[in-house]
Each structure stands twice: as C-alpha cells, then as structure tokens.
Chains A and B, each alone.
Chain A
C-alpha cells in the first residue's frame, strides 16, 4: 500500500515519459538514414544505381538527363549511395513525409553531362 503511494506521489511530480510531439521533436541521430536525395549536377548517368536498386524505384534517363526516384517504393537500403561512382546520391537525415500524390520525384540536369575520371578521388 505504502509502496504504491510512493509511486503515485513520485509520478505526480515527475516529468511525463513522453515528448509533447508536434511542439518538441527529437532530432534524428547523426547516423540516421533518411530519404535519398540527388545532387544532380554530379550525375554522369551511368545507370549503376538503377541496376543496384532492390526495389526498382529509380529511373535514370540518359537521353533526357533526368533522374527520378519513387520515394514511396524506396526502402532506404543505401545500395544506390554505395554504388554511385561520383557520390551524386546522398542520404539526408529527413524521413520522407506525407504527400497528396504518389508520384516519382524527377530531377533534371541542365547542360552537358560531366566527364567522369575514375582516378580522380575528389569529384565535385
């Protein structure tokens, strides 16, 4: 009985165990893997990411210089980030949010496709 009373009193003054979510959000850990994003100006359209994707969510078009991802098919495994030779795909720390339409996100590259030198370590 007294044990219970102690618990009750303790819980009355203690802070709540949960966060007040929309007002207070927990920052994702630095190692968190969020949605993939394209740094399209680095892309050389080698199609490696499209071939490596287990969920078939990437469509790369060399002719039209577009790179598209279906965020709702993406399983955030990170295979594309690993195979990309120019580091043109990155994982952000943001989880993909809600959307009205389930359409792939298409990014378009302007200008000529950059030349890729496999020996150069630092590619911008």
Chain B
C-alpha cells in the first residue's frame, strides 16, 4: 500500500471566501478521500427565530447570506403567506421575480469572477466584476440598497417600480448583455480555462441523482431540475426552460452559470413587458399557524424551508436546508481521484456558500 498523507485544505484558503475545511487524504498527487469539517460560521439563526417576532425574522432571514439575501426573504415571505393564506397582488409577484433574477445575476457574476481568479485569469475576473457592478447599480436604483435590500415583505413588496426605474433597468440590461456577450466566448472557448475545467471534477448523471445534487451542479450533469418550474412568484407565467449541460464536469457547471445569466436577462425583460398594474402590498393581520414546506431556486440550487408555527408571535421551528449542504456529498465524490492542484477549482465549481450551510 502506498503511503498516505493528510492535508488540511482550509478553513482559511485563497479560493474560499468563507471558512470550511476539507481534510484531504492523498496518495502521492491523487486525492483518495476528503472529509469535510463544518461549524466555523455557526450563528444560531434558527434558534433566534424561535424568540423573535415573526415579522422581524424576515430581516434575520435576509442576513443568513449576503449573496442570496433576496432569495431567503422571498422563501420566508412565501412560506408565511402560505401559512396565513395571504394572496399576494400580481404586480408584487412580478416585482419579486425581477428582483430575484437580479439577485441571481449578481451571484452568478460574482462566482464567474471568483472562478476566473482561481484559474489565474486576472483580467477576466476584473471584466466579470465590472459587469457585476452594472447589476448592483440596477439593484441600488430600484431597491435603495446594494445587498441587503429588504424590498420583499410579507404580503407583497415594500417598493414599487415606476416608469423611470423600468427605463433605467432596460437601459442597463442592454449594457449588461453587451458585456456578457464579450465575456461568454472567453468562458466557453479559451484554451486556458478549458485546460483547467474540461474533464475535471466528473459527476455522472446517475451519481448526481444518487447523491442528491441540486441547482447548477445537477444541471451541469444533464438533469433538467429547476425549482422555478414550480411556478412560484411569476415564474409560472414566464415561459422558460432550464439550462442543461451534459458534459458532467466543472466546465459544464461553469457554462450553466454563464448561460443562466442570459436567461435571467430574458426573464427580467419578459417580466417588465408583462408587469401588471395595481397594488403591491396587502395588509397582514393575525399570526401564522401550522406547518409548511417552501422550495425555491437559489442561484446555487434548491432552497428548502420548513416552518412550524403554533399561533404565537414567534415561530416554533424554522428549518433551512441550503443548496450547498446538498451539494457537499457530490463534491466529496468529485474530489476523489482528482489531483491536489485541481481541488480548489472543483470545490469552487459547486459554488460553496458556507454562511448558508451553517446559519
């Protein structure tokens, strides 16, 4: 038997924006096993929700993760609405869709930049983040803040989009699409990027199903799974198909994210074109009671909320299962057999969000 070495990968590592550790068991250059160690960022948010007022928990949900803040508020608001039987005005549903897609855009662009940086492609990283700045400006103009927007609330949305905002959005989308048109061929054709990603971190379709991969990780392995097809918010009325790649490697997962940026732009345009007039907020009275499961599509995959309320002012239980947690078993599978030098990029290819996992 060959000599085995254990290398601690993380919790502080250049490719990780957040702390997580993998103990990599190596045989020479090859990884034979990886043991993930979690718990560096636990903040006790689920517990805090059981003592806080349920309307204030909305802001807590937003602060689970900075990148998917819109998605968490959306899931929480939808779950509470389902518990209390509130019908959200159609205009609010469309606004939610627009903001959720803007959130997805900025998250994917952030990831694309980080991936380019991990490959060592400094200028591509800058180009991607320059495009991301356009998205952040759109978010700031329409929601009043760049990351923690607080626009979605229980019963609808707090803000409305006026003609001026819509014009601004359409104008900036044009800019963004141009920038993405320049970036896309680099991600899809550049030999440097292809060398680092093609055939690296393989996850076959059968394995992806068996290990429970979600989101772009599953779609990169040829599974057409997208929670937006459930038709929450206004997604049911906007005709779209999930982006699927069949190459089953890091390259496929990367292309899914790049193509989803174009899809998001299309979805925002469709939503603006169809935006119905009317109110955006209904008054909420009473307290939630019962149990509910809410699933929505985060930029990283399927987000699952389980809420239980007993008619008190705070919730009895709030369980969050985030996409990164579901994608950790596939990641451990992908890392096995890879070279040590490829491990950073493979870990990045599932788009880890540790703040979400540990809450």
Contact = CB atoms under 8 A, between A and B. Distances in A.
Interface of A: 17, 28-29, 31-33, 54-55, 75-78
B59 A29 contact: no
**Interface SS of chain B: helix, strand, loop or mixed?**
helix
Q: Which 8 residue pairs of A and B lie closest in terms of their CB atoms, listed nearest first?
A: A54-B56, A33-B144, A54-B59, A77-B150, A29-B141, A31-B144, A33-B145, A77-B59
A75 B158 contact: no
B150 A78 contact: yes
B130 interface: yes
A91 B39 CA distance: 37
A33 B148 CA distance: 11
Interface residues of B, number: 18
Interface string B155-175: 000110000010000000000
14 contacts: A17-B130, A28-B140, A29-B141, A31-B141, A31-B143, A31-B144, A31-B159, A32-B144, A32-B145, A33-B144, A54-B59, A54-B60, A77-B148, A78-B158
Contacts of B140: 28-29, 31-32
Contacts of A17: 130
Contacts of B159: 31
Contacts of B58: 54
**Interface SS of chain A: helix, strand, loop or mixed?**
loop
Nearest to A31: B144
Given A28-B140, A76-B145, 18 more contacts: A17-B130, A29-B140, A29-B144, A31-B140, A31-B141, A31-B143, A32-B140, A32-B144, A33-B145, A54-B52, A54-B58, A54-B60, A55-B59, A75-B59, A75-B63, A75-B148, A77-B148, A78-B150
A54 B60 CA distance: 8
